Structure 1
Amino acid sequence: MTAPRLSYGEYPPPLTAAELIRRLAALPPDTPVLVDGPAAAFSPIAATQLVEVQELDRVPVPELGRFDATAEAARNVADPPGAVAAQPIGSPRMALVLRREQQVDDEDEDAESDD
């Protein structure tokens, strides 16, 4: 069975590894895989990691995604950083996280936030 060819454009997000594999199979093998950076640029994937995550129903803010590692999610539910407490959605599950390469500016911001 031949994988379908993909055309330029935006596609719905793959929700499972099987969906992602199906899309990747349609690409030429030398196609780079990149992730978004914080300033609308793209970066190579620096690492992949399997993480147990919990989806939260928190108010959308640019810095936060819908999922946290389970320990961080439990802290955010018990002691929310904002005015509105987040609630868990469903049960924790394993997820493949694609980590982007860390930029020098990102490292400087992380150091400043630790002060």
Structure 2
Amino acid sequence: MIHERSLAAAKTHITIAVVNQHLQSHPQEWLATVNCLGLIDHPKLIKLIGYCTDDDHKIFVYEYMERGSLENNLFRRRFYTGPLAWNLRIKIALGAAKGLAYLHKPESTVMCQDFNSTNILIDSI
């Protein structure tokens, strides 16, 4: 484990999520996506930790969200642990709105085009 700022060995470990994108985009599009994700820094948006590309294999490494997606918490039996409490639903909705507002601020060049329950991730709360 390497500390992201000093490049010295880090003493703490973090859990990550590895996402294989299976994209067949042009190298310029891939680089633009990586650059865009690398610039996003907001406490309500998941952080891109790293990436790897090899031919058609494109992998993103993100911070891990313990409870998974909102969709899984609402609809999937495998993840379903009962209805989410209303105070938790409000907290999730406010966090999602804050993240979306950050992405769509007037000076931003980012436009979120896929805002749905599968892309709203929930930490341990």
User: Normalising TM by the smaller chain, what interval?
Assistant: under 0.3
Query: Could you tell me the TM-score, scaled by structure 1's length?
Result: 0.27
Query: Could you tell me the TM-score, scaled by structure 2's length?
Result: 0.26
Higher strand share: 1
| Structure whose CA Rg is larger | 1
Higher helix share: 2
